[in-house]
């Protein structure tokens, strides 16, 4: 006995994980109405299956085509396919869960003892991570007196680290490569500010960032956290250097913090459940090469975000 269309849709959404089985059932539903040849006239289950193979951005575009497309594009089946297996957010629909996970400021996105924040890039669904200053390795020239930990009104975390004074400055943070979305280009960013008064040693262009994957350096750049042309000329004059390449410049974010792109890398095709490459770690570091007094740097954290 042939199942009716509604029963087949329920079977497709609720009981089958195999793509081949889903395609076969969708074809059976479509055969019941051979006279319908327009795409918009296909059963909702067929449209949902096709849209689920695209991206969140494409699903939103499909929703604007017609009522039939909107019903399919907004279905739980489509948005469940965009949710990472290890992430979910309680909501009325899977689309609402997805949109909630795209909010980098949502308290529900805090993990790892509140020291890491994870969210989704809205257009692609790729994972983004923000590591709090407490999750980073900071230099401790003078022990506990090198940094002070304090709440900050602009921070997403409970506290930030403010540099009291040190000579050697090397900051780095990392996370497992398997935690990132596979086959996706990423960039690492240092998120920081500087004290309004009393900062020192942050304007000289002898600063460097690196990004490594599994111990292999994949990016290295000259940077400067507080660009200052006069300080740069003075520094190069003392150092005797000429024709030095301009270091990378920071960007002021909408949330009031500065960010410096530290470098880019591309994740492998292996997912979190694959053995190959699952133990690799992505590490991003910032280092000031000169050994002179530095103070006034405020570290909010480090981010790993997908890039176009």
Residues 200/295, Cβ–Cβ less than 8 Å = yes
Q: Is residue 10 over pLDDT 50?
A: no
Taking residue 107's Cβ as centre, other Cβ atoms within 10 Å add up to 9
Looking at residue 141, its pLDDT comes to 63
Residue-wise burial string across 149-187, b where 16 or more C-beta atoms lie within 10 A, e elsewhere: eeebeebbbeebbbbbbbeebebbbbbebbbbbbebebb
Residue 140 pLDDT level (bands cut at 50, 70, 90): confident
pLDDT digits over 27-71, tens only?
555 555 555 556 666 788 888 888 889 899 999 998 888 888 888
Tens-digit pLDDT profile for residues 61-98? 988 888 888 888 899 989 999 998 888 777 889 999 99
Q: How confident is the model at residue 8 (pLDDT cuts 50, 70, 90)?
A: very low
Q: What is the reported pTM?
A: 0.79
Lowest mean pLDDT among 105-109, 178-182, 242-246, 273-277: 273-277
Q: What pLDDT shows up at residue 230?
A: 55
pLDDT at residue 46 in the model: 86
- Per residue, the 3-state secondary structure of the chain, as one string, reads CCCCHHHHHHHHHHCCCCHHHHHHHHHHHHHCCCCCCCHHHCCHHHHHHHHCCCCHHHHHHHHCCCHHHHHHHCCHHHHHCCCCCCCCCCCCCHHHHHHHHCCCCCHHHEECCCCEEEEECCCCCCEEEEEEHHHCECCCCCHHHCEEEECCCCCCCCCEEEECCECCEEEEEEEEHHHCCCCCEEEEEEEEEECCCCCECCCCCCEEEEEEECCEEEEEEEECCCCCHHHHHHHHHHHCCCCCCCCECCEECCCCCEEEEEEEEECCCCCCCCCCCCCCEEEEEEEECCCCCEECEEEEEEEEEECC
Q: Is the pLDDT of residue 215 over 70?
A: yes
């Amino acid at each position: 006995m042939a199942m009716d269309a509604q029963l087949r849709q329920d079977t497709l959404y609720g009981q089958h994980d195999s793509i081949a089985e889903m395609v076969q059932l969708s074809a059976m539903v479509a055969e019941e109405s051979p006279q319908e040849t327009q795409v918009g006239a296909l059963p909702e289950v067929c449209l949902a299956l096709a849209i689920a193979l695209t991206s969140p951005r494409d699903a939103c575009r499909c929703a604007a085509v017609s009522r039939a497309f909107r019903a399919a594009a907004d279905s739980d089946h489509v948005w469940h396919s965009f949710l990472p297996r290890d992430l979910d957010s309680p909501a009325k629909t899977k689309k609402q869960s997805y949109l909630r996970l795209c909010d980098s400021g949502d308290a529900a996105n805090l993990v790892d003892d509140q020291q890491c924040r994870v969210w989704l890039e809205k257009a692609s669904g790729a994972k983004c991570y923000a590591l709090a200053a407490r999750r980073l390795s900071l230099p401790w020239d003078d022990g506990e007196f090198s940094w002070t930990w304090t709440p900050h009104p602009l921070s997403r975390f409970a506290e930030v680290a403010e540099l009291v004074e040190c000579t050697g400055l090397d900051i780095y943070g990392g996370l497992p490569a398997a935690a990132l979305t596979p086959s996706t280009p990423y960039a690492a960013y240092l998120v920081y500010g500087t004290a309004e008064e009393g900062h020192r040693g942050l304007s000289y262009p002898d600063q460097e960032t690196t990004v490594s994957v599994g111990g292999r350096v994949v990016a290295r750049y000259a940077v400067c956290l507080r660009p200052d042309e006069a300080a740069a000329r003075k520094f190069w004059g003392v150092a005797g250097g000429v024709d030095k390449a301009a270091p990378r410049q920071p960007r002021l974010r909408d949330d009031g913090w500065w960010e410096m792109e530290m470098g880019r890398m591309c994740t492998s095709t292996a997912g979190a459940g694959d053995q190959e490459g699952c133990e690799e770690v992505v590490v991003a570091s910032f280092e000031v090469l000169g050994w002179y007094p530095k103070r006034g740097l405020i570290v909010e954290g480090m981010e790993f975000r997908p890039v176009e």
